[in-house]
Structure 1
């Protein structure tokens, strides 16, 4: 989820690649009037198959910079050879300069990604731009978050477990409220999964109590959570009833049967098992589809 979420942020807002290069990493970014996503399949240019995670092309009447965006969550020695080929392919396809932007949520991986790649003499060296947690700005102001919601979500991913996590998440979700439903759902999942347990619970309580950023988006989330909670409660009660009937009849319940009953998420299945539990002579036969 983290890998795909990182890429989706750049895909949803192509300008984000240029913004973090310029503002967070201090890279020289040329002036541009358009940023768009281009095909990441670079096979047509390079003889062997190569597929980057994402290619963002900056244009000012013509291509001025190709940005290869890679989400990297672990060490991969093959990247030392793949990344240079991506840049060569982008440069050849669009006839412009190209650079590599690697996004990661781990500082140790960020340090590894930032190591220069020596391609050969005399001074042919690839130096990746790396967006690690420490390079991502802390976005807590709702106005800034609304202006750049993808950056706000990226801030939550990088700093959600810090002391400022709750304020970051609040700003990010306020910004997400104005987006389309698909992005709302994705950003909500990403933000909540990026918080520590205490911050996540606090945020959910604020949303339930009608906090200042309460919106159709927030109300929808709360209602969905309540319905899911009620459904889970009914499932637990039904599973408990099945086991209690078996126990009351003095039947020995095999561990596998107990685990399967407790893990069920199908109410009709549990209802069927409850009726079987009242008549079968052996608890091991509870899950047998042929049992009456």
Structure 2
């Protein structure tokens, strides 16, 4: 089953294909500046029943060095079958598009990232036929961007930083820096970023922090997440209002019962005692007073030991 973090880790490259240039710089691999890019179909299935689908596929056109294909794979855990699939993707893409393929694997935990980065050789050990060397981005090599000024310089890289560091102790500072910058960002750019981060954090505890920050610091945005949070708040408010109304109703009826019992027994009730009874909002206390009202010689007697 495809998870939200899985989608966010590769979808960000569909939203911001130019992000690959900054990621490759961070990882120490030089590519010529991009001149243009194209999002390509990600279906690599052939006529045979076996379905093969890369997460995101882009054609990147550079200035002076031609074009190449970038396959982005989001990897949530170690999978011994993946290297063979990745090798298939590379050879299929080369055969179909006649362009050199590049594979970027994005991870959220260091052990998976280090596993994915290991070169895998296919063929006899004495003469390997093919060697797979993915470029890997993860919490071990993506920058911790906690300075709003750095976020403002590169929102896409800052978003990827938040996603890859979802389980980091510094995630709070990263998310707070994002909310310092997004209010000054046009909604058409900010809204997809808000959603990508929410997706990328998935089930990590940090997602609740992000939801709170969006609800408070970014409450004016009309993104799906902010609308969802506002709807939840309205629903909680209605539920709390109904619960409060029921409690008040129970307390009012219990106070009336206490006064009715005292009146039935002919016990006088002072104005002070009446105000204390009708002003009590605790059903349990009123229940005790009701039991005492059956035998107490005075209205003040029901308050004994209160």
The answer to whether TM tops 0.5 is yes
Structure 1 gap segments, 5+ residues each? 208-213, 249-292
Structure 1 residue corresponding to 2:135, chosen from 129, 146, 170:
129
Q: Secondary structure at the match of 2:8?
A: helix
Distance 2:158 2:47 in 1: 36
Report the RMSD for the aligned CA atoms in angstroms: 3.9
Distance 2:56 2:212 in 1: 35
Q: Do the aligned partners of residues 31 and 48 (structure 1) sit closer, same or farther apart at CA in structure 2, a change above 3 Å counting? A: farther
State the partner residue of 1:64.
67
Distance 1:29 1:190 in 2: 29
State the partner residue of 2:238.
234
State the partner residue of 1:268.
none
Decide whether the 8 Å contact of 1:110 with 1:130 is kept in 2. yes
**1:141: how far off?**
2.9
Structure 1 residue corresponding to 2:163, chosen from 131, 152, 157:
157
Q: Secondary structure at the match of 1:101?
A: strand
Q: Which whole-Å deviations, capped at 9, do the CAs of 1:106-164 have from their partners, x for residues lacking one?
A: 11111221222222253421011111111111112333323322211111123355454
Decide whether the 8 Å contact of 1:160 with 1:168 is kept in 2. no
Q: Secondary structure at the match of 2:7?
A: helix
| Larger RCO, structure (CA 8 Å, separation 6 or more) | 2
Q: Secondary structure at the match of 1:88?
A: helix
- The answer to whether the aligner puts 1:9 opposite 2:12 as a matched pair is yes
State the partner residue of 1:183.
192
Structure 1 residues 146-225: aligned runs within 5 Å: 146-176=152-182, 177-180=185-188, 182-187=191-196, 189-190=198-199, 196=206, 203=213, 207=217, 216-217=220-221, 225=229
State the partner residue of 2:42.
40
Distance 2:7 2:29 in 1: 25
Q: Do the aligned partners of residues 152 and 46 (structure 1) sit closer, same or farther apart at CA in structure 2, a change above 3 Å counting? A: farther
Structure 2 gap segments, 5+ residues each? 254-306
TM value normalised by structure 2: 0.63
Structure 2 residue corresponding to 1:55, chosen from 54, 57, 62:
57
**1:216: how far off?**
3.8
Query: Aligned pairs, how many?
Result: 238
**1:219: how far off?**
11
Decide which moves more: 117-126 or 58-67. 58-67
Q: Secondary structure at the match of 1:75?
A: coil
